[in-house]
Amino acid sequence: MKNYNKINVEQQNRVELHEQLGLTGAEISINILPQGTNVPFVHSHKKNEEIYAIIEGEGSVVIDDEKICLKAGDWLRISPAAKRQFFAKVNTPLKYICIQVKEKSLEEYTMTDAIVY
């Protein structure tokens, strides 16, 4: 495999990057929930930690029956077993990035994993 891959992501309701970028340590999706809509199911994960970044708009997420309000600049880590469902506000779309990684898979990072030249 080439030492890098690059793509440009156009605005769409959902874009999944794993295959397009040849990712091996994460899946990343870029999502837009139109105003007044929600992800149509509740879900949890078997092994994967999810990290959400709110990019634009406002909404909420229900995690194990607790409602958490969301706005641009918010970042969330959600444990695999937690049940989650995302909602856009009635008058505002919610744009967010979702990053899936295997829980406890990171060993070293930044200065302890880097080689600086």
Residues that bind its own copies (CB under 8 A): 1, 3-10, 16-18, 21-29, 41-49, 51, 53, 63-64, 68, 71, 73-79, 81-83, 97, 99-110, 113-117
Residue 75 CB, nearest approach to its own copies (Å): 5
Pairwise CA distance, residues 28 & 97, whole Å: 7
Pairwise CA distance, residues 106 & 30, whole Å: 22
CA nearest to 94, candidates 114, 71, 66, 111: 71
For its own copies, give the closer residue by CB, 5 or 13. Answer: 5
For its own copies, give the closer residue by CB, 84 or 88. Answer: 84
Contact 9, 30 (CB under 8 A): yes
Residue 50 CB, nearest approach to its own copies (Å): 9
Residue 37 CB, nearest approach to its own copies (Å): 17
Contact 58, 25 (CB under 8 A): no
Residue 19 CB, nearest approach to its own copies (Å): 11
